[in-house]
Amino acid sequence: MIFGVFLILVIGKKFYELAASYNKSKWGYAIAGALSYYVGAFILGLVLGVVLLILESDFLETANDFVLTLITIPVGILSCYLFYIFLERKWEKENPDKDSLIDQIGNS
């Protein structure tokens, strides 16, 4: 429980700092970053559930909650990382380097 709260706080802080560096909504993207963790874990749960249903396994019924949590953590972190990289690249394209634009003045 404490680890989960700590993890969400760290994720939120990283997205908050990213949004601040590009002058975007800091709290909005901090919350979106934390939600991306849960979305990734949810998608893994759906995929895992469908695969286990097809295989007719009783893994979900017999597995400990701690084991299921350990399975979802890497996928949640991966989804946060991919969302972070996506936003960073998108915002980088939207904000060209101002120094290079200043150098282009008068060259037309």
Q: pTM for the complete prediction? A: 0.80
The pLDDT value given to residue 52: 85
Note the pLDDT of residue 68.
Answer: 83
Which one-letter amino acid corresponds to residue 93? K
Annotate 45-67 with b (16+ C-beta within 10 A) or e (fewer).
Answer: eeebeeeeeeeeeeeeeeeeeee
Each residue's pLDDT, cut to its tens digit, for the chain (108 residues) gives: 788 899 999 999 999 999 999 999 999 999 999 999 999 999 998 998 899 888 888 887 888 888 888 888 999 999 999 999 999 999 999 886 665 555 666 665
